[in-house]
Structure 1
Amino acid sequence: MIQTKLIPRTSEAFEPPMLIKNILAESLKYEPHREIVYRDLFRMNYIEFNKRVRRLANVLTGLGVKPGDTVAVLDWDSHRYLECFFGVTSIGAILHTVNVRLSPAQILYTMNHAQDNIVLIHEDFLPILNAIKDQLTTVETFVLISDKVYTDLNAVGQVPAGFVGEYEALLRDAPDQFDFPYFDENTWATTFYTTGTTGNPKGVYFSHRQLFMHTMSLLTYLIGYEALPFKSRTDVYMPITPMFHVHAWGFPFLATIMAAKQVYPGRYEPEMLLKLLVTEGVTLSHCVPTILNMLVSSPTAQKFRDQLSRWSVLIGGSALTKGLAKAAMDLGINITSGYGMSETAPILSVVYLNDSERTLPLDEQIDLRTRAGRIAPFVEARLMDDTGQFVAHDGQSLGEIVVRTPWTTQGYYNDDERGAELWRNGWLHTGDVASITPDHWVVIADRTKDVIKTGGEWVSSLDMEDVLSQVEGVAESAVVGLPDERWGERPYALIVQKPGYDLTAEGIKARLQSQIERGELHKWYMPDRILFVSEIPKTSVGKIDKKRIRAELKEQIFP
């Protein structure tokens, strides 16, 4: 950095740090009577929400939680989880959002690695806790979470020793006033764990400043630029991305600073999601393609076309195919894509249609809406080749996306080696191969580990999945590369077909062949084999698990 002249400071001047408590404070200024809803079981306004957050702070400090301690939460998406986003962090403690979809052994690893001090756990996850409790090395206290209020924990089955009470009962007896302190904005706020292709889950962590700045970017992009219509008095937000995964993409912080109506669905059930969508007037959600496909494919969806036409959905986590986008748009859903990763909090780009693009017919917008989006405000994104040299942003040249933002994680907790690999050459390496257009569109080609090298050509598994998604009767597809003595690798495709269709591998290949002959598709995009399956393996956060698919296919095809 260059040497500059800093501004002089008056000895009495105070520069407020960027803290999560400041996001909470905004929720009371303009629309304090808007609601926060949990399923069909609970609702409150922002006045009551702020009181409950302070009650939680009193409960935690009363239980001995100190600044720097780690509070683990295992819960469904709920108003309680939202309270923890603010109540835990605003006392200077660290919130560990535990991925409840990991295996018990992985959950045990993350809780010990994060050095959790206290655990807030929904009764649905007690069987997991009972299996690992004796192996937890740092946890001293447990609090039960339930949709019921238990004053006597003996009335709950499977509750082991160490529980001090039930969440709602503890909040009820706590004062609703708490003076959240000021502290350094670089204070550690949250931890969660992301799984990779090898090794144990990696601990990703963020400071108050990083989460504050990520919220400001979302505020600028989604509202200032209207990348999604999250701005009017009638907008209602419901996440369909787990709150344990990158803070539900940061949207709960955004919704809270705006005092928007928020709806939390608890356990993801298609019927409950659709019910809340209709009865609570939900207008904005975000999810992975798997969840959208589940909702769009539901027979019930057709009954709610009028309500769905008011719904905007941001897709991330995996590529949005043109086939799924068209199916959603046919139901009237305003569908767009975004791109990011756990280590980037996560937003790096979101689809933004400029004045000329938004006038295009919807069928011509699909290509744009299924891209990774335009680079978000305050994000510096470049393309880098294997030698560490930058690649031109000409819309054609490919390179790995590397980024710098005010909110990217600074490493992996207690894992310097993998942290250094993440931050090679002073840039955070995403592991995604892409092109970037001169007007800042990001077009993902593939994950570096998923690109298929066949016959000397690079073939994008995402492009192949996009082509297959447009075959009538295909509900879902996944493409991976497997070893081939002659060509190095060859693509193999898994397909889930829609009910009522009788697709064949030969029929799909014939369609692809006709596209090849018309010059619409490269010959290398013809899969060696097409296998029909009842479902495609997914990771704990709903992404296609290509590591598992490759392993299972290798065992099946090359025993």
Structure 2
Amino acid sequence: MPDPLVTATPSAYDYPLLVKQLLVNALAVSAKQQITYRGETRYSYADLRRRIGQLASMLSSSGVKAGTTVAVMDWDSHRYLESYFAVPMMGATLFTVNVRISPKQIAYTLNDSGAQVLIANAEFLPLLEQIWGSLAHPPLLIVARDDDCSVETASSLPVACDYELRLSMSSSDFVFGDFDERTRAVLFYTTGTTGDPKGVTYSHRQVVLHALATAATLASPREGQRLHREDVYMPITPMFHVLAWGMPYIAVMLGLKIVLPGRYEPHLLLRLKQTEQVTFSHCVPTILQMLLDGARGDSFDLSGWKMMIGGSALSPGLCRAALDRGIDVFAGYGMSETGPIVALSQFPPGAMHAEADKDAGTDESVRRRCMAGRPVPMVDLRVVDGDMCDVPRDGRTQGEVVLRAPFLTLGYHGKPEASEALWAGGYLHSQDVAVMHPDGYVQIVDRIKDVIKTGGEWVSSIEIEALINEVPGVQESAVIGVKDERWGERPMALVVRRPGSAVSVATIRQRLLALAEASRISRYAVPEATRIVFLDEMPKTSVGKLDKKRLREWID
């Protein structure tokens, strides 16, 4: 029987899927394209490649080799973009440190990762001084600054060198060889869960396939909710969080102009949108709200800005507010463990698209934009019951989202039991409750841990939050289940008023009761007056999601 495998002549190049390959076309056709940091530092893609070589030479002279873990603590900068390529291209692992988690958790992740080198913005030196003594094996410390001065000697930390100074003395002629595409490229840690953060890893193959699948999906629509070569890209999801949803790799692969804003400051982001003519970004709903609030009453023109929203549910009210300002807003779906993008809420061709073009403010358009959307290529997305059987595609029957794709993480770093639970039955379990519509659109109903069972009925906290957020004067809300002797659980609403608003408990209850009377929601979904509480500020996770864990601890 003949060998079924494809054979290659000895001189053929068996092209491995490595991160370095994402640069090939960009350098060939977009070498002069611009990358800017805060509108202050500017250089071309050719300069990016030169600095990637210099960074690799600098790291190599510091002992970095294949298998070494290099940690980075920085805001969204050109340095971060350079590390996205240089570190994995050496065969080393890039560890993107979440600088918004607690110092204790940062120390845990540095220890757990085994990082041997740390590139840190000088802004984080005081934080590192707090935890340095708790590091089992303190890494070699390279400090980066936002000016050309060398590092101050005031810090008690053993600083090895200054990033820019050492980079300028390093050769750009580093040779990036080939290796197994299954080599670990990146590592980061999940947030917002119980216990210690869990490390999530991706190989070169997974990073490249995620970039290709997501780019193909974003580029496929004729217009709207899409990405093309003339777009100007600015991330507003931190580069330390799930690789900024993988979008910087896609932007480089396509040769886009890239605007890196550093630390997120509303006025700076809005100014960069205007001065750099940004057309494509992505963020969580709280950041979108912050941008809309920052632009209120000012002359900022937000039209022509395509905005992908993820991390938590995009509410209809926030969606309408963004559309009113000319932002082409749409939801994406994924999690730290899924690459992350596995679905996008883009309009399909045909009647729905025509309706959306005619009036982007229609209820149907808003409803579609707020859904998780439809799976991207190569993603096997199912909504299943407790027996792993697919639920009907009726838009009503609920189940858990389970997934298979070539770019999902294959397990947690050093946590075999948690990894097996994640992949029980051969599918990655999202812990998200959803319904599947007849046309393949997925709508997330809630997290399994956040669904409220009351009076024998299941209540979606996401749905009730969205309805409360539409009450005039409400800025944001969180709905959680609290124990009740009679009903098992009852919903409790925590609400933040808009500045100057006097919205009351009675107003919110009247709105929800009217919806229950109209059979829009169950009467069990309406919180009692004593269970609607106003807060000055809502607790958030390190990436801007509602922190329901802290709210439950506060209630208990």
**TM-score of the superposition, structure 1-length normalised?**
0.95
Question: Where does residue 79 of structure 1 map in the other structure?
Answer: 78
Deviation (angstroms), 1:26: 2.1
Among 334, 351, 357, the alignment partner of 2:352 is 357
**Quick check: 1:126–1:159 contact (8 Å CA) kept in 2?**
no
Question: Where does residue 160 of structure 1 map in the other structure?
Answer: 157
Does 1:230 find its partner at 2:224? no
**Quick check: 1:115–1:139 contact (8 Å CA) kept in 2?**
no
C-alpha separation in 1, matches of 2:299 and 2:427 = 46
**Quick check: 2:93–2:186 contact (8 Å CA) kept in 1?**
yes
Question: Where does residue 45 of structure 1 map in the other structure?
Answer: 44
User: AA paired with 1:280?
Assistant: E
Question: Where does residue 366 of structure 2 map in the other structure?
Answer: 366
C-alpha separation in 2, matches of 1:145 and 1:278 = 28
1:318-342 deviation line (CA, Å, top 9, x unaligned): 0000111111111111110000000
User: AA paired with 2:122?
Assistant: E
Deviation (angstroms), 1:159: 4.8
**Quick check: 2:190–2:199 contact (8 Å CA) kept in 1?**
yes
Deviation (angstroms), 1:149: 2.4
Question: Where does residue 183 of structure 1 map in the other structure?
Answer: 179
C-alpha separation in 1, matches of 2:149 and 2:161 = 8
Does 1:295 find its partner at 2:291? yes
**5+ residue gaps, structure 1:** 555-559
1:479-508 deviation line (CA, Å, top 9, x unaligned): 111111111111111111112321100121
Query: Cα gap change, 1:49/1:545 in structure 2, threshold over 3 Å: closer, same or farther?
Result: same
Question: Where does residue 544 of structure 2 map in the other structure?
Answer: 542
C-alpha separation in 2, matches of 1:11 and 1:392 = 52
Deviation (angstroms), 1:345: 1.1
User: AA paired with 1:231?
Assistant: H
Deviation (angstroms), 1:19: 0.4
Question: Where does residue 316 of structure 1 map in the other structure?
Answer: 310
Deviation (angstroms), 1:387: 3.0
Deviation (angstroms), 1:195: 2.5
C-alpha separation in 2, matches of 1:33 and 1:443 = 42
Deviation (angstroms), 1:141: 0.9
Secondary structure of 1:68's counterpart equals coil
User: AA paired with 2:537?
Assistant: E
Does 1:8 find its partner at 2:26? no
1:77-105 deviation line (CA, Å, top 9, x unaligned): 11100000001010000000001111111
C-alpha separation in 1, matches of 2:229 and 2:21 = 22
Deviation (angstroms), 1:352: 1.4
Q: Which runs of 4+ in 1 moved over 4 A?
A: none
C-alpha separation in 1, matches of 2:7 and 2:56 = 37
Question: Where does residue 557 of structure 1 map in the other structure?
Answer: none
Question: Where does residue 213 of structure 2 map in the other structure?
Answer: 217
**Quick check: 2:512–2:526 contact (8 Å CA) kept in 1?**
yes
Question: Where does residue 384 of structure 1 map in the other structure?
Answer: 384
**Quick check: 1:37–1:43 contact (8 Å CA) kept in 2?**
yes
C-alpha separation in 2, matches of 1:169 and 1:420 = 46
C-alpha separation in 2, matches of 1:74 and 1:388 = 41
Secondary structure of 2:173's counterpart equals coil
Question: Where does residue 255 of structure 2 map in the other structure?
Answer: 259
Question: Where does residue 332 of structure 1 map in the other structure?
Answer: 326
C-alpha separation in 1, matches of 2:412 and 2:105 = 16
**Quick check: 1:74–1:125 contact (8 Å CA) kept in 2?**
yes
Does 1:513 find its partner at 2:513? yes
**Quick check: 2:225–2:329 contact (8 Å CA) kept in 1?**
no
Question: Where does residue 111 of structure 1 map in the other structure?
Answer: 110
C-alpha separation in 2, matches of 1:513 and 1:288 = 30
C-alpha separation in 2, matches of 1:492 and 1:4 = 64
Deviation (angstroms), 1:196: 4.8
Secondary structure of 1:216's counterpart equals helix
1:390-412 deviation line (CA, Å, top 9, x unaligned): 32333222111000001000000
**Quick check: 1:302–1:331 contact (8 Å CA) kept in 2?**
no
**Quick check: 2:192–2:541 contact (8 Å CA) kept in 1?**
no
Deviation (angstroms), 1:8: 2.9
**5+ residue gaps, structure 2:** none
Question: Where does residue 29 of structure 1 map in the other structure?
Answer: 28
C-alpha separation in 1, matches of 2:547 and 2:154 = 35
Deviation (angstroms), 1:128: 1.5
Question: Where does residue 97 of structure 2 map in the other structure?
Answer: 98
Secondary structure of 2:21's counterpart equals helix
Q: Percent identity?
A: 45
C-alpha separation in 1, matches of 2:81 and 2:267 = 23
